A and B are shown apart, each in its own frame.
Chain A
Amino acid sequence: MNKIWLSSGVLNSQLAKTGLPLWMLGLGADLLWADMNRLLAFLFHQGVLDEQFLQLQQLQDEASPNFVSEVLNIYFHESEKLLTNLRGLLMEREYKKMEIHLNQLMGSSSSIGAKRVTNVCVAFRAATHHTNRAGCLHALEMLEHEYCYLKNKLHELFQIEQQRALVAGVRYPEQNQNQ
């Protein structure tokens, strides 16, 4: 299902097949689908997300229906810790340690497909290599900005997803919502 969100044409046919509940709420569900797709397309276009995110979605199935939200929850949780640490370390000019944190942040961000965040991490890491404090500061700010943006958008996405699920009569666990 998730995989189809990009194609509203397919969605329409799907909706039509599903039956009464969808039929009754068809418009709502359809709109939500469209919203979701739009948002995703937008994020992809902006480079906020990349194909790795798609892969995450593909990994979600009946066996692990909340996979994406689970991963993202963990990601947010960890990233926030890392970002806080990074700021502290930068204040103390601990470049080596910062690099370690950055590596981890980079790894996890790239694993979920957060492309822009990953890119900023790369730049940040380069700045730490040169112990360029100003550069690091700037990179950190950008990183925080990108991270917040990503988080907000993903939250939005999940909200739509949840609504859509509700509308479609599918039960999703409440914790779908990231925070």
Chain B
Amino acid sequence: MTVEKRMNDSCDDFPHGMRVLAVDDDPTCLLVLETLLRRCQYHVTTTNQAIKALELLREHKDKFDLVISDVHMPDMDGFKLLELVGLEMDLPVIMLSGNGDTKLVMKGIAHGACDYLLKPVRMEELKNIWQHVIRRKKFDSKDKKTSNRDKPASDGGNGLGSSGAGNSEQNEKLTKKRKDQDEDEDEEQENDHDNEDPSTQKKPRVVWSVELHRKFVSAVNQLGIDKAVPKKILDLMNVEKLTRENVASHLQKYRLYLKRISCVANQQANMVAALGGADPSYLRMSSVSGVGQLQTLSGSGQLHNNTFRSFPSNGIINRLNTPAGLKVHGFPSGVLQLSQSQNLNNNDHLKFQPAMVPVNQNGIQGMPISGGLDQLQNNRGVMSVHFDAKTFPILNKLSDPRPKVTTSGSHIPDLGISNNALTLESRLQGTQGNVRYETLSSSAASQNSEFSLHLLDQGRFSDNWSSAVQPSVIQTNSYPPNECFRQTNIRPTDNMASVPLQGGNLSGPSITTLSRLPRDSITDMHSEGVIFTNRPGLLSSNVPFQGWDEHSQGATHHSNIMFGSINSLTPVNGAAVPAGHTATDSTLHRNLNFNYCDPLQMKHDGFVELTEEQKSQQSGFSNNPGSLEDLVSSMMKQEKDQMKLLDGDLICDNYSGGISM
């Protein structure tokens, strides 16, 4: 069995033969690093592209013990890669940079890096990196409860000196927390999956799968978040082999997650308020969604928080050109990005946004309402609503499906997407979009978190997720979203609806995919996320959330992200949401980044991509809005109610006819 074999290998002559993956775009450094590592008697694989690195890691999950990656890389931000690796594979990652700025180091730590080395890398430092592998393994085998139990072993090799110690410790905790939640396997309580544990004691690890987490969340909700104690939760959940400790630590993480969501929600609310005129509901929604996403991601622990964390907030903030500040581009999962699509002729879609946001209500899973692109001609807050595939179906389910996007955000409550969307989510296997839904309402935050967690769970932690992500990623990538995206100004062309598809490019492929969307099942959507495939690179779900942060491109990015993530969710969403991206080169660039960064993102991205359509529109996409629109409309049909995105008509209610992409 792999596990045993690996254990044996590692036990025998560790750290010799430790398998390291080195990633650096600079060939000089890469060669030096590789040679140094070989001299330390590690087994080294190198690549100069982050994307390839991810592929390698995903392909051979068990083949690496450690990853060393440069921070500044052209195809993907090193931090994004770091998050992804941590989330998906749960491997220790060491950051490498020529820049020793404290902020950067902090960022690395925050994203879960085990260590942060400065260039030039020295042999002495590399000789000690194996400690991170051991440490992680040891932590895995211990009780999930995070604690200060282990002081990091000698910090040796940490170029940062004293800060390194603190960092490693923090990292340990972070990684431990994350690790606890992360799990590759789908099955619940895949105890044997602990394949990296060389230590003698092999404690079975509980995998918090989506199912499990859902039970957990429902139990918590039943008891009331304040009154939820591990023992009772455990009883309510009634799951075998789950110990009180497992529940306790999970509860801890969950609480953190909720806290984070509420923070984000506040931020978003502020943002929206700042934007002025934002409908409070919008705020709520956006914040919620944003937060939710983040929260779900981070809080749940299952989700690799890092990614999501940055994602939602960024998206929201950036995107919210409109008062709605619904920019939730970041919703990793199922976030409906209400991006202002140019197409949104009316503010209708804006309305949709808000409506979307509250998704939390039942059944609306992952309403990733984010958006608020101010691109809308009329409204600042034109928010292209990116409805993830998921959202759409969910919306259907909603009792009040009207996804009216109104900048004013008055409709937000309409969506009524509830946290219960989880059910939907769970259906979505590993669709990242799912996660999005969760975040929507603050109230539903917990629920959302459930969803998101589940989603994330599904998506992230399971293999399915990876695979799911992969396809979606691929798909999104096919979109040349970036182009579309970039169009910062979402042209008010009525094609907006179509635009979301990402502009011209989409028209072709996207349409096909979109048409696929009509499938009801969310899962379909999930797979449909592929719609975006046409867009190469647009949807790279990996939308680097971080990238967003840095580039406050505004809606464009967000929409990208949204779309990206959406891809899995619903093609429709993508199409519908003509994110009012501010077309900027950077956005394009960013989109690309996003694509790579996070598979979940991809889903969103998919949507974003769609929104990017706007860009494409600008770029002449408008030429074939018809096609897109057709596509969109067909997609939307199913979601009629909900799709009200892009065109004023698009709003779900009118969707059937109206989506003009």
Contacts and interface: CB of A to CB of B under 8 A. Distances in A.
Interface of A: 52, 55-56, 59, 64, 67, 70-71, 74-75, 78, 100, 103-104, 106-108, 110-113
**Size range of the interface on B?**
20 to 34
B58 interface: no
B99 interface: yes
B274 interface: no
Contacts of A78: 26-28
Contacts of A104: 25-26, 72, 98
B28 A71 contact: yes
22 contacts: A52-B120, A55-B122, A59-B32, A59-B39, A64-B35, A71-B31, A71-B32, A75-B28, A78-B27, A100-B72, A103-B98, A104-B26, A104-B98, A106-B119, A107-B26, A107-B97, A107-B119, A108-B29, A111-B28, A111-B119, A111-B120, A112-B120
Given A55-B122, A103-B98, A108 B35 contact: no
Closest 10 CB pairs of A and B: A107-B98, A108-B28, A110-B120, A75-B28, A111-B120, A107-B119, A106-B98, A52-B120, A111-B29, A111-B32
A38 B599 CA distance: 55
Contacts of A52: 120, 122
Nearest to B124: A55
Contacts of A59: 32, 35-36, 39
Interface string B510-524: 000000000000000
Interface of B: 25-29, 31-33, 35-36, 39, 70, 72, 97-99, 119-123
Nearest to A115: B120
Given A103-B72, A107-B97, A107-B98, 8 more contacts: A55-B122, A55-B123, A56-B32, A59-B35, A71-B28, A74-B28, A104-B72, A107-B28
A78 B29 CA distance: 11
Contact of A112 (B28, B36, B70, B123): B28
Contacts of B123: 55
A74 B31 contact: yes
Nearest to B28: A108
A110 B98 contact: yes
B80 to A, nearest CB: 16
B96 to A, nearest CB: 8
Given A55-B123, A107-B119, A111-B120, A74 B27 contact: yes
A74 B33 CA distance: 14
Contact of A110 (B27, B36, B119): B119
Give the residue among A75, A78, A100, A104 with the most B Cβ atoms within 10 A.
A104
A113 B120 contact: yes
Give the residue among B28, B32, B35 with the most A Cβ atoms within 10 A.
B28
Contacts of A113: 120
Nearest to A110: B120
Contacts of B29: 107-108, 111
A67 B35 contact: yes
B331 to A, nearest CB: 28
A110 B27 CA distance: 13
A148 B387 CA distance: 56
Nearest to A67: B35
A112 B26 CA distance: 12
Contacts of B97: 107
